[in-house]
Amino acid sequence: MPEPWDILKTLADSTRLRIINLLEQDEFSVAEMQEILVMGQSRISTHLSTLRKGTLVLVRKEGKKTYYRRNVGSEDQERLVKAALATLVNRPETKKDLIGLKRVLDKRKRATERYFNAVAGRLGKNYCPGRSWEALGHLLLKLAPPIVIADLGAGEGMVAQLLAPRAKKVFCIDNSKRMVEVGKKLAKKNGLSNLTYKYGDIGKVPLPNNSVDLALMCQSLHHAQRPEEAMGEAYRILKPKGNLLVLDLKEHGFEKARELYADRWLGFSENDLYRIIRDAGFKAISVNVVSREVKEPGFETLLAAAEKA
């Protein structure tokens, strides 16, 4: 652990302090920080190197990209960091940084929305990694209708429409307005009056606390900006003893998935998915590989199940 005076020395530079303030909100790449802080790449990289040496930031590699996030240290270290950050409140540069931060986060969201808006109406007709009848069959066997279900990141609601005829109520949540529009038309066409589509993000689900029996995430978690927040929302909307089912890609190295499918995360290891679910408060957690594709790049699919404590 660094000495207090070393931490203060590191935070004494205004640029480094602005970077720490930025990483309090989310993790960012150097390119994103350039856009937010309106600074050159070399200047930001130099300060990040100093912050890393001071153990104030951590690095996460995602394929060819590198993301930086704030490292939460000891209580003494956190007191010093919080005190330093308090000096930035209401400063002109801080207000500009927050505007830039919102712009970059909106840009991330729009990039994902553009992909799903473009494929709305034909997503189920084309290849989609991890979406196989084998995997879906495993998921459907876990269901116990009639119950109230929330399909989080539902897209057109292919799975939800299979469940609706036997469920009490199904809510489809998706952050693509076009997907919601297409889903509503399909539900009406198929006479599924208990199937409701809502526009919203899985990181902030537009459903009340303790309102559903089953929270379902079918190939949606790897699109979440913050998987931990999405999992926390699933926990929030579930009734006590409610169930969680997650069907998602196992960690892989197919970098093109970001461009081809607007993937934010290249899947999850079994341990990481278990940790995300556990940290949200769930119990009785199981995570298993349920499908392996023969065709390159050989995607594997994980099925996780858990219960709200």
> Over the stretch 206-249, which tens digit does the pLDDT of each residue have?
999 999 999 999 999 999 999 999 999 999 999 999 999 999 99
Rg of the chain over Cα atoms, rounded to whole angstroms, equals 21
Give per-residue pLDDT as tens, 6-59: 888 888 899 999 999 999 989 999 999 999 999 999 999 999 999 998 889 999
Q: pLDDT above 70 covers what percent of the chain?
A: 95
pLDDT level of residue 2 (50, 70, 90 thresholds): confident
Give per-residue pLDDT as tens, 123-135: 666 667 777 766 8
Q: Provide DSSP, 204-231.
A: B-SS-TT-EEEEEEES-GGG-S-HHHHH
Q: How many CB atoms lie within 10 A of CB 193?
A: 10
- Bridge partners (DSSP) of residue 305 are 245, 286
What DSSP designation does 197 have? E
Give per-residue pLDDT as tens, 179-207: 999 999 999 999 999 999 999 999 999 99
Question: At the topology level of CATH, where does 123-308 sit?
Answer: Rossmann fold (3.40.50)
Question: At the topology level of CATH, where does 4-119 sit?
Answer: Arc Repressor Mutant, subunit A (1.10.10)
Give the pLDDT confidence score for residue 137 in this predicted structure.
Answer: 65
E strands present in the chain: 57-62, 65-70, 148-152, 169-174, 195-199, 212-218, 238-249, 282-292, 300-308
CB neighbours of 172 closer than 8 A, spacing ≥ 6?
Answer: 151, 154, 157, 160, 180, 183, 195, 196, 197, 198
Give the pLDDT confidence score for residue 125 in this predicted structure.
Answer: 61
Q: What are the angstrom distances between the C-alpha of 120 and each of 5, 85, 175, 248, 257?
A: 55, 43, 12, 20, 18
Q: What are the angstrom distances between the C-alpha of 286 and each of 10, 24, 224?
A: 43, 32, 21
Strands 238-249 and 212-218: parallel
Give per-residue pLDDT as tens, 259-304: 999 999 999 999 999 999 999 999 999 999 999 998 999 999 999 9
One-letter amino acid at 255 equals E
This prediction's pTM: 0.65
The whole-angstrom separation of Cα 9 and Cα 160 is: 55
For the chain, the domains span 4-119, 123-308
**Tokens for 243?**
């169930």
- Select from 252, 257, 217, 218 the least CA-distant residue to 238: 217
CB neighbours of 145 closer than 8 A, spacing ≥ 6?
Answer: 163, 166, 167, 168
